[in-house]
């Protein structure tokens, strides 16, 4: 293992120390329990948004904290979900009295830890709603698996919900917006190489020099197929068509019902894309793929969207939801409307995304 680290045990703490020193105008960092939060938190009267997950996906989530995006982010160990005490303390720190939305990626550990944290926060009198992001079309089945994983749409939901909170949306409205973004966003990723978790010291999986994994998860979970390496155009087409031609996806997710004061099963259906839809196209590097290659992917994606009658009205290109140093990319398409376009264009100031201010 060759990495720019000191000791594997210290990776997450030292990263957080670095962020705190580098960006004091954007974020503050709390240690034990660990979380990154807006430098100006709490913002009185504004809905706060908390997310989190395993480390190793930087800049997500800590680098997405700031004005117009997340209020706080809870980093776990590399690829391991954070613990409920982190989310509880972060929730208390950023609560401005208008309630807190937890945006949770659909992984078994994240879901369990966030549910416990939300229950604890409510016991302390804070209003908390939770929305799951499950947008990875590489997982077809929700009956015999833990369901679709939360990937690229998470970033878009965090930006859009952050903007909505700044605009004064209520907690229910921000949660509703997040649910809408989730069902209208779809993603798929691929890997050219594996990645090495610092604590493990060796690559997570073996991928021969001339092969690739289509449908990879952001922790190196296997996808749909492993095949011989192909060109950027062919790979882009596989990912794009996997997303565009994905049929309606139905599953139940758990959400907190404030009226009944309990977790309830909610059935959600993702509507398929159709001709004439406006979309946001997000081309993401898994960490090891350089910008030059992302532009090549975007070029082909643009062509495919045009051919399929989808109009790209906004885009995002870069390494935002990464998998350590893995080479590969993911594509996310989100169906846009006027509300989402306006929220997307609103100012944001985080370590990873910044415009308009």
Partner 1 sequence: MTKSQVLKWLEATAAVIEKNRQYLTDLDSPIGDADHGINMDRGFKKVTSKLPGVGDKDIGTILKTAGMALVTSVGGAGGPLYGTFLMDAGKAVAGKDELSDDDLVALLDAGLKGVIRIGKTNLEDKTMVDALHPALEALKEAVADGKNTVEALHLMTDAAHEGMKATIPMLARKGRASYVGERSIGHQDPGATSSYLLLKTLTETVEAEGQTPFGTSA
Interacting positions 67-86 with partner 1 (CB under 8 A): 76-77, 79-85
**Which residue from 219, 300, 335, 349 is in contact with partner 1, where contact means CB under 8 A?**
219
**Which residue from 71, 193, 204, 285 is in contact with partner 1, where contact means CB under 8 A?**
204
**Which residue from 16, 87, 129, 139 is in contact with partner 1, where contact means CB under 8 A?**
139
**Which residue from 146, 229, 241, 264 is in contact with partner 1, where contact means CB under 8 A?**
146
Task: Kindly state whether residue 122 participates in binding partner 1, applying the rule CB under 8 A.
Answer: no
Match 């549910």 to its residue by tokens.
115
Task: Kindly state whether residue 13 participates in binding partner 1, applying the rule CB under 8 A.
Answer: no
153-167 helix and 171-184 helix, angle to the nearest 10 degrees = 150
From the list 30, 61, 202, 219, the catalytic residue is: 219
Cα separation, 61 vs 351, whole angstroms: 10
Task: Kindly state whether residue 258 participates in binding partner 1, applying the rule CB under 8 A.
Answer: no
Q: Judged by CB under 8 A, which stretch of 109-117, 124-132, 227-235, 241-249 contacts partner 1?
A: 109-117
Of 112 and 295, which CB lies nearer to partner 1 in the complex structure? 112
Of 59 and 82, which CB lies nearer to partner 1 in the complex structure? 82
Report in angstroms the alpha-carbon separations of 21 from 57, 213, 217: 20, 38, 32
Catalytic residue flag (residue 57):
yes
Task: Kindly state whether residue 96 participates in binding partner 1, applying the rule CB under 8 A.
Answer: no
- For residues 331, 334, 64, 168, the Cα torsion angle rounded to the nearest 10 degrees is 180
171-184 helix and 338-345 helix, angle to the nearest 10 degrees = 110
Residue 172: phi and psi, rounded to 5, are: -60, -40
Of 37 and 79, which CB lies nearer to partner 1 in the complex structure? 79
Of 12 and 98, which CB lies nearer to partner 1 in the complex structure? 12
Task: Kindly state whether residue 289 participates in binding partner 1, applying the rule CB under 8 A.
Answer: no
Cα separation, 56 vs 131, whole angstroms: 22
Q: Which helix (H) or strand (E) holds 165?
A: helix 153-167
Q: Which helix (H) or strand (E) holds 28?
A: strand 27-30
Catalytic residue flag (residue 219):
yes
Q: Which helix (H) or strand (E) holds 354?
A: strand 354-355
**Which residue from 1, 5, 22, 200 is in contact with partner 1, where contact means CB under 8 A?**
200
Take residue 332 and report the two structure tokens written for it. 């996310």
Contact between 224 and 139 (Cβ < 8 Å): no
Take residue 245 and report the two structure tokens written for it. 């031609």
Task: Kindly state whether residue 199 participates in binding partner 1, applying the rule CB under 8 A.
Answer: yes
The DSSP string of 167-232 is HT--HHHHHHHHHHHHHHEEEEEEESS--B-TTT-SBSS---TTEEEET--TT----SEEEE---H
Of 225 and 315, which CB lies nearer to partner 1 in the complex structure? 225
**Which residue from 112, 229, 264, 291 is in contact with partner 1, where contact means CB under 8 A?**
112
Task: Kindly state whether residue 298 participates in binding partner 1, applying the rule CB under 8 A.
Answer: no
* Of residues 118, 113, 89, 119, the one with CA closest to residue 102: 118
- Please tell me the count of residues contacting partner 1 according to CB under 8 A: 32
Take residue 333 and report the two structure tokens written for it. 């398409």
Q: Judged by CB under 8 A, which stretch of 15-23, 61-69, 163-171, 217-225 contacts partner 1?
A: 217-225
Q: Judged by CB under 8 A, which stretch of 23-31, 141-149, 306-314, 329-337 contacts partner 1?
A: 141-149
**Which residue from 4, 21, 44, 144 is in contact with partner 1, where contact means CB under 8 A?**
144
The distance of Cα 108 from the centroid of its chain, to the nearest Å, equals: 15
The DSSP string of 105-130 is ES-HHHHHHHHHHHHHHHHTT--EEE
- Please identify every residue annotated as catalytic: 57, 219
Residues at the site binding partner 1, with contacts judged by CB under 8 A: 33, 54, 76-77, 79-85, 107-109, 112-113, 115-116, 139, 144-146, 149, 197, 199-200, 204, 217, 219-222
């Amino acid at each position: 293992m060759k990495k720019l680290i000191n000791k594997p045990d210290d990776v997450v703490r030292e990263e957080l120390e670095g962020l705190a020193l580098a960006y004091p105008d954007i974020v503050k960092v709390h240690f034990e329990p660990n979380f990154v939060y807006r430098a100006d938190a709490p913002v009185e009267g504004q809905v706060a948004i908390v997310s989190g997950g395993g480390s190793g996906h930087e800049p997500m989530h800590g680098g997405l904290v700031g004005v117009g995006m997340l209020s706080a982010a809870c980093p776990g160990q590399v690829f391991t979900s954070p613990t409920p005490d982190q989310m509880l303390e972060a929730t208390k720190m950023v609560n401005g009295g208008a309630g807190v939305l937890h945006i949770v990626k659909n992984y078994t550990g994240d879901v369990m830890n966030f549910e416990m944290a939300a229950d604890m926060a409510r016991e302390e009198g804070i209003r908390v709603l939770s929305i799951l992001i499950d947008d990875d079309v590489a997982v077809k089945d929700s009956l015999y698996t833990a369901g679709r994983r939360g990937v690229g749409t998470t970033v878009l939901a965090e930006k859009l919900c952050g903007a909505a909170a700044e605009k004064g949306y209520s907690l229910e409205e921000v949660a509703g917006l997040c649910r809408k973004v989730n069902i209208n966003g779809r993603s798929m990723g691929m890997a050219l190489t594996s990645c090495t978790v610092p604590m493990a010291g060796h690559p997570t999986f073996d991928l021969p020099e001339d092969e690739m994994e289509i449908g990879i998860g952001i922790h190196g979970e296997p996808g749909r197929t492993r095949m011989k390496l192909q060109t950027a155009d062919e790979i882009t087409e596989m990912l794009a068509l996997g997303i565009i031609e994905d049929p309606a996806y139905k599953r139940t997710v758990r959400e907190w019902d404030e009226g009944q004061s309990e977790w309830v099963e909610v059935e959600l259906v993702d509507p398929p894309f159709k001709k004439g839809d406006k979309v946001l196209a997000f081309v993401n590097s898994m960490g090891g793929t350089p910008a030059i290659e992302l532009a090549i992917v975007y070029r082909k994606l643009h062509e495919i969207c045009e051919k399929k009658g989808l109009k790209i009205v906004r885009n995002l290109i870069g390494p935002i939801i990464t998998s350590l140093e893995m080479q590969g990319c993911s594509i996310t398409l989100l169906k846009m409307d006027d509300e989402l376009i306006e929220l997307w264009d609103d100012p944001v100031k985080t370590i990873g995304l910044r415009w308009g201010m």
